Structure formats: structure tokens, C-alpha cells
Structure 1
Amino acid sequence: MTSTILALALALGGCSSGTLDSGSAAAAATQPGAVHPISGLPVIDLVVSSKTGAHNFRVEVASTPEQQARGLMFRTEMAPDEGMLFPERTPRQPAFWMKNTVIPLDIIYVGTDGRVLNIVHGQPYDLTPLPAAGLASGVLELNGGRAAELGIEPGDKVRWNLPNSGPAGGNPLGRAGEGR
């Protein structure tokens, strides 16, 4: 009987759609060295310090050109304290657009000093380039409206540590002075 129940449970698990709700995704990505269950990207802690306090996020890291090109395309949901980080090896003035992106996003450009340069608001499927206000060492994407809800503004400090590196403090390579 027990083996029959076990076999039934395994069979039903095999029929799963393979999608996780955002609560399950967030719970699965809370361990150090974690990967996001939907994207397979590494997940790290990121903190934005603003006038309203420290705001903690668990963010997926899109570090390769292929990962960055895909970004959050085709995703239909993201938990309130999740996001995606696009570290820049060499600071540049990027412009993001929303091709095949289903959910509205706040696109937060992080300068070489680790501070928010500017925040732009991406609308689903819009191909209009949304540029950084200067050289960026990283780009953070959050759910649309989340930055305003938390009081995140230009000048706020953004800190993260990339896997297998030291404190980034806005430096995507995680080593002080490198890549600036």
C-alpha cells in the first residue's frame, strides 16, 4: 500500500506544470548559493539604503550577455522583494527596453559610486529605449512601482556581493576599484 501511494505521488509530481508561484520561488531562493527555480540564475542578497531605511531584496544575477538579453522576458510574476541585477563589467551608459516583458518594471541604474543614478518605468512590451543618466556599474529591475512604494530615489546606496567575490558596494566585479 505504501509503495502504491509513493508511486502515485511521484506520478502526480511528474505531471506538474513546472511553474512555481512567486511565494514558492522566493522560498526556494533564500539559501546562500541558491539559484532561482524559474530562470536557473544565481540568487543573491541586495540592499538599497534610502531615507526610508534599508530595503532587502533577493535578486537573480544576469551576468552573461545571453542572460542579460533574456532578462525578465516572458515572466508573468515576481515577488515584491525579488528582482534581477545586471552587473556591468565595464561601466557604460545602458538603455533598457521591455521587449517581450510581460510585467511593468522599475529599472534602476546604479552608478560607479554604488548610488542610484536614475529610475525609469518600463511598460510591458514597449520598445522605447529607457537610458541611464550616466555611467552605470549595474542595473536593478524591480516590480513596477516598487521603488516609489519604498521611497527609493536617485542618490540612494545599493550594495550587493556577487557569488565567489567580495563586497561590491555597487561594483559588479565585487573587488574594490576594479572595473571603475
Structure 2
Amino acid sequence: MRPSRHFIALFLAASAMMLGAGQAAAQQPTNFPVISLNAGIHVIRAEVAARDAERQQGLMYREKMGPNEGMVFLFGEPAGVCMWMKNTLIPLSVAFLDEAGKIVNIEDMKPQTTDSHCAKKPVRYALEMNQGWFRQKNIKPGMVIDGLPR
């Protein structure tokens, strides 16, 4: 029995819709746990990316982020860490933090690039905020971010 043209057309249309739905689902932000961090007097509402898949997703496909919102990336052990902005639509600044939460260095990152932005020494955390947030709040390397998960 040969499939009819109508059946083939329906199958192709359904396949295209499922493929499109899968791509759309991949572009939807994941719901991450949220914690409060403190940078001096400033309170940050930080989403937590602790697992490998969460760190890979990060802030991809987000179109905006609130003024005191960000994402903290947890790495199991202090390590050489680099961040990039593939599929990330908003400009960000990243602070690399050591095990005690002390800022090692801060880098500005351009949207939708694969340029590497790296910690200057092994770190346990990276905190991404809207670009310029650290500069606007006068937060610099050597300062400590409190409330980080262990």
C-alpha cells in the first residue's frame, strides 16, 4: 500500500510544526532558582545556574533583565573560567568571584558574540549583570559579594 499525497503532506506539516516547537522550546528561558545576594548596600536578585545544562543555557534568548537582576554561575571547584555570549541578546558585565566571594575581575561582554571573557585566576563563581551595573554601583575587584550558595 502506497501512502497518499494527502497523508504525506500532513506528515510533513506535522513534522515541521514539531521541529519548530522544539526550537522555540530551546529558546525559552529555563526557570532557575532565585537567591538574594548583597554587593555592599545593593541587593541582587540572582538566578542560580549550578548544573552544567543550566550554565550552558545561562541568559540566552532573554530580551531584558531588571535593573538589580542577574545570574550567578556556580562551579564545583575553583577553576579557570571563561564566559561568552552566543545567543545572548542583552549586553552584560560579568564579575568573576573566588571561593570567598571576592571579585577577581569584571569584564563587559557584547551580545551575540563568541569572544571569550576569562577570569584572571581560578574562581568558583561568575555573576552576570546588565552591562555597566558594577561600574554604576562603584563595585570593583577586591570587593566581596555576600550570600553566595556553597
Root mean square deviation, CA, Å: 1.1
Compute the TM-score of the two structures, normalised by the length of structure 1: 0.65
SS state at 1:72 partner: coil
Compute the TM-score of the two structures, normalised by the length of structure 2: 0.78
Aligned letter for 2:32?
L
Task: Choose the corresponding residue for 1:138, options 101, 118, 125.
Answer: 125
- Mapped contact 2:101–2:148 kept (Cα < 8 A): no
SS state at 2:134 partner: helix
Task: Choose the corresponding residue for 1:82, options 69, 73, 87.
Answer: 69
Match of 2:102 in 1: 115
Give the number of equivalent residue pairs.
122
Q: Please list every run of 5 or more consecutive structure 1 residues that lacks an aligned counterpart in the other structure.
A: 1-37, 163-172, 174-180
Give, in whole Å, the separation in 1 of the partners of 2:128 and 2:98: 14
Which structure is higher in RCO with an 8 Å CA cutoff and minimum separation 6? 2
SS state at 1:151 partner: coil
> Does residue 46 of structure 2 align to residue 59 of structure 1?
yes
Match of 2:39 in 1: 48
**Percent of aligned positions with the same letter in both sequences?**
33
Give, in whole Å, the separation in 2 of the partners of 1:111 and 1:147: 17
Give, in whole Å, the separation in 1 of the partners of 2:33 and 2:84: 23
Determine which structure has more spread, i.e. the larger CA radius of gyration: 2
> Does residue 39 of structure 2 align to residue 39 of structure 1?
no
Give, in whole Å, the separation in 1 of the partners of 2:63 and 2:120: 28
Give, in whole Å, the separation in 2 of the partners of 1:120 and 1:65: 22
> Does residue 147 of structure 2 align to residue 160 of structure 1?
yes
- Mapped contact 1:112–1:135 kept (Cα < 8 A): no
Give, in whole Å, the separation in 1 of the partners of 2:138 and 2:148: 23
Q: Please list every run of 5 or more consecutive structure 2 residues that lacks an aligned counterpart in the other structure.
A: 1-28
